[in-house]
């Protein structure tokens, strides 16, 4: 990879945020692969537990199917143990976490314990109506039980109420880098890369 296309080596502790359907998962996978860091998606971890019919999965499913958040204590414990794994030692890209103020505080505590801190928060900016359309399509294609129109609307409401305010918190820490999430998948990846290297 050439230097101009490679994200800055120093920015390796990252969050990707944005409403459901903004493309966080797709972009997180791409960026994390380029940076050789794990993409950690709380949604994926919950879904794996749902499929495996674990105790955590049964609990998580009851919230996920309604478009509600899984309780903070459960989610925080799950992320704490994931971040303690060896592959996250030199960096990580968290996708879908934190989603509440309580989770922001919990993450601050975890990073402090690990003697580290966040480098950047990547925000995918999208239009809500477009996102609903995308999610309805994804629901049909992937059979995700929380991608029905009713649940999608609830997830967007919950995002607006509980997660959008987090952007201000990270803005105050001067960590937020905004990227237009309405462009093509490839163009969004290019913009994210640029957002990490500009500065
Ligand atoms: P996602 O795949 O990120 O859209 O997450 C799917 C669902 O998993 C969400 O609608 C929540 O029910 C649950 N979930 C994922 N991440 C979190 C989180 N950080 N806090 C609480 N619930 C979460």
Q: Is the peptide bond before 70 cis (omega within 30 degrees of 0)?
A: no
In contact, 155 and 99? CB cutoff 8 Å: no
CA proximity to 120, closest of 6, 10, 1: 10
- Model pLDDT, residue 1: 46
What does the pLDDT look like over 112-142, one tens digit per residue? 999 999 999 999 999 988 888 888 888 888 8
CA 34 – CA 27 distance, rounded (Å): 11
- Model pLDDT, residue 4: 45
Which residue lies with its CA nearest to atom 19 of ligand 1? 97
3: its two tokens? 């230097």
Strand partners, 179: 124
Alpha helices in 119-176 (DSSP H): 128-142, 149-158, 164-172
Residue 158 CA: nearest ligand 1 atom is 10
Q: Residue written as tokens 């201000």?
A: 168
- Model pLDDT, residue 7: 47
**119 alpha carbon to ligand 1 midpoint, in Å?**
23
CA 68 – CA 92 distance, rounded (Å): 25
What does the pLDDT look like over 42-60, one tens digit per residue? 999 999 999 999 999 999 9
**98 alpha carbon to ligand 1 midpoint, in Å?**
10
**139 alpha carbon to ligand 1 midpoint, in Å?**
15
Q: Residue written as tokens 């359907």?
A: 21
Per-residue pLDDT of the chain (199 residues; tens, 9 = 90+): 444 444 445 679 999 999 999 999 999 999 999 999 999 999 999 999 999 999 999 999 999 999 999 999 999 999 999 999 999 999 999 999 999 999 999 999 999 999 999 999 999 999 988 888 888 888 888 877 788 888 889 999 999 999 999 999 999 999 999 999 999 999 999 999 999 988 6
- Model pLDDT, residue 2: 44
CA 59 – CA 116 distance, rounded (Å): 31
Residues labelled catalytic:
24, 99, 138, 144, 155
Which residues are CB-neighbours of 187 under 8 A, at least 6 positions away? none
């Amino acid at each position: 990879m050439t230097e101009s296309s490679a994200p800055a080596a120093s920015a390796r502790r990252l969050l990707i945020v944005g409403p459901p359907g903004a493309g966080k998962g797709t972009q997180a996978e791409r960026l994390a692969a380029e940076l050789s860091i794990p993409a950690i998606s709380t949604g994926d971890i919950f879904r794996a537990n749902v499929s495996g019919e674990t105790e955590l999965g049964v609990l998580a499913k009851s919230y996920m199917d309604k478009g509600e958040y899984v309780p903070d204590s459960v989610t925080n414990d799950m992320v704490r143990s994931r971040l303690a794994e060896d592959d996250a030692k030199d960096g990580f890209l968290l996708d879908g976490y934190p989603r509440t103020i309580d989770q922001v505080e919990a993450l601050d505590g975890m990073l402090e314990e690990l003697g580290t801190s966040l480098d950047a928060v990547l925000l995918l900016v999208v239009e809500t109506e477009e996102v609903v359309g995308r999610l309805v399509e994804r629901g049909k294609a992937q059979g995700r039980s929380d991608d029905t129109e009713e649940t999608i609307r609830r997830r967007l409401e919950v995002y607006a109420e509980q997660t959008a305010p987090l952007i201000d918190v990270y803005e105050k820490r001067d960590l937020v880098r905004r990227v237009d999430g309405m462009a093509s998948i490839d163009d969004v990846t290019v913009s994210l890369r640029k957002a990490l290297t500009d500065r």
